[in-house]
Amino acid sequence: NSDLAQITEIERSILAGLEGGCNLPLGIYAEARSSAGGTLFGAHMYLGEEFEQNRRQRSIYGYREDSDPARLSARMLEELKNVPTIFVFGKEAKMNELPEKLESIVPDSNRLRTFAALRTVAIEGEDKWDLLKSALDKKDRIVFSIFSSAAVEALRQRFGSMERFRQRLDIENRMDIRWATTGESTASEIRKLDPQADVVLSADGTSAGLLPSLRDLQSPTTALVFLVGRDGRKELMQALESSGAQTTTVELYRTESLELSFVLKELDQAKEPVYLLAGSPLSLQAMQRAGLMEQEKRPALLTLGQTTAEAARDMGVQPYAVATVPDYAAFLSDFY
């Protein structure tokens, strides 16, 4: 297959030419697969021990994808030769704290730029907690589903502790209280709020991956509660309700999009290729409104998790790389 050969030729063409300090691959396996948008080309990059001991100490494998084999080949070659520059887009609070967290990962701070695409604003009012308290009455088991650190932070700001949260809902004596979330990073935030938390994790890092577990827990004496943002995706709740489950939704915060059009100028002035990393579907929408997804030579798109990747594909953009779990630090370490 000439398209696949175009990708695997990278291995032969650069093995002899690159020195040990570069992203030297020991193997590239290319494949083609059918998708709703047509044929997609993927490349598995295997990195060996020589590399582990050198610059890239955190990753021995990577997967990249594109609908154009020539573009995929060119982007991979560029990535393998050079340390990439990545523009990261996400919630304001997360973008403010991310650079410090990545100091030990990113070799050059100029190679990573963070941009606040969204700001979260708490939704005030006590009515929702009164309604939730009533919904939990006489339930033997309670499952709180939560999908972002912003939602956990909204709970922390409102109640301060799990003890006060339980008191407000009159569930101090309930023995079977569980949490459900999509990724380990949010699970970690949940455990900070509730150290004794029993957390159910998604099988694949998406909300859809939680569906089988929540269906198994579904019963007349189980309360399925979703603590979410007003603008969040509702597919999981809808899927449960379509199978007869009763769910309760509590909106903790709303999201405001921030201005990003100034980033276009920075992209135009960049001397080297830049990757764009979208942290969520809403971040992706903010990037699209700013025109970042419509450039003639659009930068390679990276997405934090499969849900954001699917949102990108719905926009007609195929991500170059997708984080298997929604964790900025773990994903970015693969590129540095």
Average pLDDT, the chain: 86
Residue 74 has pLDDT above 50, yes or no: yes
Q: Which of 41-55, 87-101, 276-290 has the lowest mean pLDDT?
A: 41-55
Confidence of residue 307 (pLDDT cuts 50, 70, 90): confident
**Number of residues in the chain:** 336
* The pair of three-digit structure tokens given for residue 39, joined into one six-digit string: 């044929």
The single residue listed with the structure tokens 């949102």 is 311
pLDDT number for residue 21? 47
Spatial neighbors of 124 by CB under 8 A, at least 6 apart, are none
For residues 117 and 102, give the distance between their C-alpha atoms in angstroms, rounded to a whole number.
19
Residue 53 has pLDDT above 60, yes or no: no
Does 171 score more than 60 pLDDT? yes
Q: What is the 3-state secondary structure (H, E, C) of the chain?
A: CHHHHHHHHHHHHHHCCCCCCCCCCCEEEEEEEEECCEEEEEEEEECCHHHHCCCCCCCCEEEEEECCHHHHHHHHHHHHHCCCEEEEEEEHHHHHHHHHHCCCCCCCHHHEEEEEEEEEEECCCCHHHHHHHHHHCCCCEEEEEECCHHHHHHHHHHHCCHHHHHHHHCCCCCCEEEEEECCHHHHHHHHHHCCCCCEEECCCCCCHHHHHHHHHHCCCCEEEEEEEECCCCCHHHHHHHHCCCCEEEEEEEEEEECCCCCHHHHHHHCCCCEEEEECCHHHHHHHHHCCCCCCCCCCEEEECCHHHHHHHHHCCCCCCEECCCCCHHHHHHCCC
Q: Is the pLDDT of residue 52 over 70?
A: no
Tokens of 110: 């100029």
Edge-to-edge, what's the strand order for the sheet holding 38-46?
A: 27-35, 38-46, 61-66
Binned at pLDDT 50, 70 and 90, residue 224 comes out as very high
User: In the chain, pLDDT over 70 holds for what percent of residues?
Assistant: 90
Position 61 confidence tier, pLDDT thresholds 50, 70, 90: low
* pLDDT for residue 251 is more than 90: yes
How far is residue 125's CA from residue 97's CA, in Å, rounded to a whole number?
28
- Look-up of token digits 């995706």: 233
Average pLDDT over residues 99-112: 81
Residue 57 pLDDT: 44
Average pLDDT over residues 207-224: 92
The domains found in the chain, sorted by start residue, are 1-82 (3.30.160), 121-254 (3.40.50.10090)
Would you place residue 24 in the very low, low, confident or very high pLDDT band (cuts 50, 70, 90)?
A: low
Residues 107-160 have pLDDT tens digits of: 777 889 999 999 999 999 999 999 999 999 999 999 999 998 889 999 999 999
Lowest pLDDT segment from 37-41, 67-71, 89-93, 223-227 = 37-41
Lowest mean pLDDT among 146-160, 201-215, 217-231: 201-215
User: Which segment, 22-31, 216-225, 286-295, 316-325, is predicted with the most confidence on average?
Assistant: 216-225
pLDDT at position 189 is 92
pLDDT tier for residue 15 given thresholds of 50, 70 and 90: low
pLDDT, position 55: 44
What is the per-residue pLDDT for 58?
40
Mean pLDDT score, 266-292: 91
pLDDT, tens digit (0-9, with 9 covering 90-100), for 232-244: 878 889 999 998 8
The answer to whether 304 and 278 are in contact (CB under 8 A) is: yes
